[in-house]
Amino acid sequence: MKTILKLENVVKKFSGLVAVEDLTIEMAERSIHALIGPNGSGKTTTINLITGVLPLTSGVIRFNDTVISGMPTYKIAQKGIGRTFQNLKLFNSMTVIENLMVGGHQMTKMGMYKFLFDCHTAKREEKILKERAREVLTFIGIDKWRNEKVSNLPYGRQKMTELGRALMMKPKLLLLDEPAGGLNPSERVEFVNILLKTYDLGIDLLLIEHNMDVVMNVSNKITVLNFGKKIAEGSPEEIQKDNEVIKAYLGE
């Protein structure tokens, strides 16, 4: 088994508060790995540490054997780690396709100066981005809404748009913060299907998710956090039977 992502003794403190405590996680290549735990257990902080949004207090994070902790966020993204956010970070007054094109800008590695002042190259860049965006939108099934303003779309399609934006960069690993959150049951089924299709493309998934049906149905492995500490890890069957996990969720 090859490891795609490894957190080694990761600690994150916010002044006095220990949000993540001595956390070690190994995520296998070609897997869907879930990170679960009650509110405030350190899940989003962990994703922010992996993506470089927050600096670690101590510990090391490796992606495919390369140490990524300490790198700036854009470099980590260029290495092949994409993400979506719990509270969508879309440009609401822009259209679906424009949101994807903004997300893919880094893909073409063209500097902003050149983009603004070199008309010929900018046009070429726009064409590449548009083609890639159409490909992604078709893949996730929302191409017919490409020219709609994001603010006019139902929440489920906004979430799809965000997934699409993350796919523009062709990540090898995608971190998803509550992908099923806020979706109605039919949107949830649709979204899970797209996630499985995304996995089949060769993209490994690390997800934070509260919906236990989703977690238990899609994950190969689950890590459970409580108060910043790992309290259990294993297959969905193992986690469902784990007494520590049951206690953490029932608040005993």
Shortest Å, Cβ 73 to ligand ADP: 15
Nearest residue (CB) to ligand ADP, 158 versus 226: 226
Nearest residue (CB) to ligand ADP, 39 versus 186: 39
Shortest Å, Cβ 200 to ligand ADP: 28
Strands 173-177 and 221-226: unpaired
Shortest Å, Cβ 228 to ligand ADP: 7
Shortest Å, Cβ 230 to ligand ADP: 12
Who's near 45: CB < 8 A, 6+ residues apart? 12, 19, 20, 54, 228
DSSP character at residue 1: -
Q: How far apart are CA 168 and CA 213, in angstroms?
A: 28
Nearest residue (CB) to ligand ADP, 42 versus 164: 42
Nearest residue (CB) to ligand ADP, 37 versus 179: 37
Q: Is 17 in the site for ligand ADP (CB under 6 A)?
A: yes
Q: What one-character-per-residue DSSP string does 176-219 give? A: EESTTTT--HHHHHHHHHHHHHHHHTT-EEEEE---HHHHHHH-
Site for ligand ADP in 193-252 (CB under 6 A): none
Shortest Å, Cβ 95 to ligand ADP: 31
Q: How far apart are CA 173 and CA 155, in angstroms?
A: 24
Segment holding 220, helix H or strand E: none
Q: Which two tokens stand for residue 4?
A: 């795609």
Site for ligand ADP in 18-77 (CB under 6 A): 19, 37, 39-45
Nearest residue (CB) to ligand ADP, 149 versus 210: 210
Interacting residues toward ligand ADP by CB under 6 A: 14, 17, 19, 37, 39-45
